[in-house]
Structure 1
């Protein structure tokens, strides 16, 4: 994957979007399977994609938890998770009560720099919901092991110009991995940040990584995702500790790990975001 690393390090012009095999999940029957995937509204400042992985926890990209205009983390209460959002209606909607970006993620690094590239592997974040989602129609997504080159995967996301219903890309492949970066041959757009990447198994679909950024290899647009294996268990444990430690009156405040700097969105594309 040397070509990917060179491009991420020396990026001067962002990649253009391309929808590829994208298809909207327009009917209730089809969309119902993916009801754990939802849109995360960032106040009035845009949206990201996210996935319910426990009744009261949503997994997304760490950069989605920061306001790119101010470089500060959002207040948890500014974030709303709309599970299964489709045509103006959510299967369930919940406000955030606490956020936790991965401690290795630092917003504000120069896009295309080596430091920026090196931290992509920690671009994961969690949102603790104010109330759990306990509906039989919404089952939290199961998570799985590290993706491997050649794996066939599916992406379910919301994005620019398709914010009113989730869309599926189900003919994607893992081109390869480098450290904690997974390179996919599918292409995503703004709003798809934080979207889940699923792999089918004999026991059902498992969430194996999260969309972080767009890139280009030899003139070909690709997507960079972050594997959940090796990071998510520790992040969930830290969220549980922070939640238990917070006083009831303070639980709606954001939690920001040490080492965070100022910054904004890190999706490597031109236009409005995240």
Structure 2
């Protein structure tokens, strides 16, 4: 009989289609995740070449409105962030990113953004920036995953951040034209093993072709790459830079061409209506410590962006996708402070009470029979992966969902 958390993962449609592929790739990807690489492998027929030391970029410490999109962290210790994409802050509580960046978990999935220069590799026990939870995501209605047309999504943060957003284009004077120099910012791959991804970088490109809702750019000398999707493309307009594009896709080797969505083509029908939305009505949420006794009927009733989920027809309860149903008690700093069967889980990205002792509603199965340590509940029968951390699972899902044979998703 599968454990409750495994049944939940099987039932949740947003994840199910990726699990089989993730398991198939586990042996190859585990080593890559251990060194925090997020580069997408090129097809065997495409030789890997040394790219110019985004690729051929430099650090971007002043671009504070360029953010990283990550999978929501569930553990308070021992769980490094999982980089999904980059993004551009366009209002204190709104981030613009690429639609395909939400493909793994869907628009309703667990996402956070990171604001800071260095996400990975971590220079300290925790990154030096700050995290913000995504409360809502909206994908452009005309998004085409095959062509990357309108490959854009808007993210509403749970709370505004004290960072100056990127300016949006207000006139035709900042529409990209062929030959114009633009600057790209992102947290993605550099094609240089000595310079890992996860650090905010910048570089210059030259616009080569302009289309009604997109523009293409080539290296000058830099190039966007895997992990830069959703990141800002900026054009200088007098004394300031304006957000004119959003990184969407490009060639596998990150050498020749980048496809970027035009921001001016999104303003009237997509961005401005979202920015003008009235604040969502406040709905009383269930107490985190009572989630095993209280049931829910909709996500809005769940605290801290938890999801209201019913498994196998049982009453719906509030939970995080990476955890089974449970309740959150006292604040904690590590699993050891939460007693037997508990763990120190992350309820919010930051704050004094973000880390709370999590206790499953259904007690975990008993330890294996000491006389028969190789019984059906042992790690041996689970292939040695029964204790895989949440970050590893999320990383595997990310890889399994985004490996493509021809073009890269610059995630």
Question: SS of 2:100's equivalent?
Answer: helix
* Aligned counterpart for 2:159 among listed residues 115, 120, 131: 131
Contact residue 104 and residue 122 of structure 1 kept, 8 A: yes
- CA displacement, residues 47-80 of structure 1 (integer Å, 9 cap, x when unaligned): 200111100001111111221xxxx51435x211
- 1:190 is displaced (CA, Å) by 1.1
Contact residue 185 and residue 233 of structure 2 kept, 8 A: yes
Question: SS of 1:182's equivalent?
Answer: strand
CA-based RMSD: 3.5
With CA pairs under 8 Å and 6+ residues apart, which has the higher RCO, 1 or 2?
A: 1
Q: Which has the larger radius of gyration?
A: 2
- CA displacement, residues 104-126 of structure 1 (integer Å, 9 cap, x when unaligned): 1144xxxxxxxx22xx2311111
Look up the match of 1:83. 115
* Aligned counterpart for 1:231 among listed residues 259, 266, 291: 266
Matched residues in 1 for 2:47 and 2:406: separation? 6
Go from structure 1 to structure 2 and tell me whether the alpha carbon gap of 1:24 and 1:121 turns closer, same or farther (over 3 Å shift): same
* Aligned counterpart for 1:205 among listed residues 232, 241, 250: 241
Q: Does 1:155 align with 2:192?
A: no
Go from structure 1 to structure 2 and tell me whether the alpha carbon gap of 1:23 and 1:229 turns closer, same or farther (over 3 Å shift): same
Contact residue 50 and residue 59 of structure 1 kept, 8 A: yes
Go from structure 1 to structure 2 and tell me whether the alpha carbon gap of 1:142 and 1:269 turns closer, same or farther (over 3 Å shift): farther
Structure 1 unpaired stretches of 5+ = 1-12, 108-115, 255-263
- Report 1:25-40 matches (<5 A): 25=59, 31=61, 33-40=62-69
Go from structure 1 to structure 2 and tell me whether the alpha carbon gap of 1:47 and 1:100 turns closer, same or farther (over 3 Å shift): same
Contact residue 85 and residue 166 of structure 1 kept, 8 A: yes
Look up the match of 1:140. 165
- CA displacement, residues 23-58 of structure 1 (integer Å, 9 cap, x when unaligned): 331xxxx61x20111111134754200111100001
Look up the match of 2:84. 47
Matched residues in 2 for 1:127 and 1:143: separation? 16
Matched residues in 2 for 1:153 and 1:86: separation? 23
- 1:243 is displaced (CA, Å) by 6.3
Contact residue 225 and residue 410 of structure 2 kept, 8 A: no
- Report 1:245-264 matches (<5 A): 248=283, 250=299, 252=305
Matched residues in 2 for 1:54 and 1:17: separation? 39
TM-score, normalised relative to structure 2: 0.49
Q: Does 1:58 align with 2:95?
A: yes
Q: Does 1:196 align with 2:232?
A: yes
Matched residues in 2 for 1:126 and 1:16: separation? 34
- CA displacement, residues 151-173 of structure 1 (integer Å, 9 cap, x when unaligned): 11111111136333111113x11
- 1:247 is displaced (CA, Å) by 6.1
Matched residues in 1 for 2:246 and 2:118: separation? 21
* Aligned counterpart for 1:168 among listed residues 194, 202, 225: 202
TM-score, normalised relative to structure 1: 0.70
Look up the match of 1:180. 213
Contact residue 144 and residue 150 of structure 2 kept, 8 A: no
**Aligned positions, number:** 230
Matched residues in 2 for 1:208 and 1:192: separation? 15
Go from structure 1 to structure 2 and tell me whether the alpha carbon gap of 1:267 and 1:91 turns closer, same or farther (over 3 Å shift): farther
Matched residues in 2 for 1:237 and 1:17: separation? 42
Matched residues in 1 for 2:406 and 2:48: separation? 7
Matched residues in 2 for 1:94 and 1:173: separation? 33
